Copies of this chain bind each other. A is one copy, B any other.
Amino acid sequence: MNNISILGSTGSIGTQTLDIVRDNPDDFNVVALAVRSNADMLLKQIEEFKPSLVCVYDEAVAVDIKDRIKEDVTLVTGMDGLIECAVIDSADMVVGAVVGMIGVRPVIEAIKAGKDIALANKESLVTAGHIIMPLAEEKNVSILPVDSEHSAIYQALHGENRKALSKILLTASGGPFRGRKREELVNVKVEDALNHPNWSMGKKITIDSATMVNKGLEVMEAGWLFDTDIDNIQVLIQPQSVIHSMVEFVDGSIIAQLGTPDMRLPIQYAMYYGQRVYLKGDRLDFAAISHIDFEEPDPETFEGLKLAFEAAKLGGTMPTVYNAANEYAVAKFLNREIGFLDITSTIRNMMDRHIVIADPDVDTILSVEQDVYSMINNMKG
């Protein structure tokens, strides 16, 4: 029995994590749930999964929900509450499924508390990989990737000598705007960008997929997770999203992981620590797929990808600037305040203005995040 705490239980990854728990009641027990503000869904989850602790990050919603909880459960709120869920004694594993830099502190605290991490929150590794990876090693904590790409790499490396790894081939669908030229993306609407061809995901990550900033974040994340030089990571467009990623070894052999676009597979694989357990669902039918295509990403149209490699090489606080600028710009785009191409030009502007601080601690990372937000606001003011 694996006792789990889910940070972000009402999001796309969170609800699918609970699907796995529901299908395997003998293997998993939910001890804590944390959400930002979705009270109605949380109430249903409390009723079904009976956690002992829940966090509603938004204080106003927490106050509001207090009297509606019938079960015997402790309610906490804010960052302190989120961290309480991350370090709760009874948990063996924390599923880090919150979106954004809000996940950094709870993930670090969970590792300090010796919890294994099923990690979907990209931002933790992107901004604080230099803190998280050595800490996880020190605390003998497993970081199990939940992203389909990183899970694919993890699966492909299973049982292999990491020193024999020569290259990571991180696949990308290319998103809804694959094949378009930069000038064709000037007038892209929110609806167009939310229309991903293969995957059904949250809004933020769907926009990140359309700009390919998501792939940029994944490149940085892969660098940390697999201790790989950023130049040994190649992004490969594979529009059908059938190959979830590949690794190349020193002997030229390539191991790939393939599957249907179903996030439950990487979630379950992480939850079971790489043990393979039956998962109901469709299987790949290659004759029906008929072909898989490959192409190189276009660095002009998808400038966000190029900037990610730059940010990763500069290191220190630069990935935080990259990520924070993107986070804020995507929110503004979703709010129809800026255009689609303004997302990556905002990232570029913020990176151009930033002077890298090497080896930043968490406070520095989070204060750089706030600085970036203020700077973007002032630019617009």
Contact = CB atoms under 8 A, between A and B. Distances in A.
Interface stretch (A180-188, A283-291, A304-312): A283-291
Given A160-B276, A252-B265, A258 B287 contact: no
Contacts of A293: 290-291
Interface residues of A, number: 48
Interface stretch (A110-118, A134-142, A243-251): A243-251
Contacts of A289: 294
A258 B259 contact: no
A146 to B, nearest CB: 14
Contacts of A294: 286-287, 289-292
A357 interface: no
Interface string A253-266: 11111111010010
Nearest to A246: B258
A359 to B, nearest CB: 33
Nearest to A165: B276
A381 interface: no
A78 B226 CA distance: 53
A279 interface: yes
Interface string A120-134: 000000000000000
Interface string A43-76: 0000000000000000000000000000000000
A145 to B, nearest CB: 14
Interface in A83-113: none
Contacts of A286: 169, 236, 238, 294
B236 A251 contact: no
Given A254-B257, A283-B248, A159 B156 contact: no
B236 A250 contact: no
Most chain B Cβ neighbours within 10 Å, of A161, A254, A257, A265: A254
A156 B291 contact: no
Contacts of A257: 253-256
B160 A158 contact: yes
A158 B253 CA distance: 13
A275 B159 contact: no
A359 B127 CA distance: 63
Contacts of A161: 275-276
A151 to B, nearest CB: 9
Contacts of A260: 252
A337 interface: no
A260 B254 CA distance: 9
21 contacts: A156-B255, A159-B159, A161-B275, A161-B276, A169-B286, A243-B256, A249-B276, A250-B276, A250-B278, A250-B279, A252-B260, A252-B284, A253-B257, A253-B269, A254-B257, A255-B257, A286-B294, A290-B294, A291-B291, A291-B292, A291-B293
Closest CB pairs A-B (n = 4): A159-B159, A164-B276, A286-B294, A254-B258
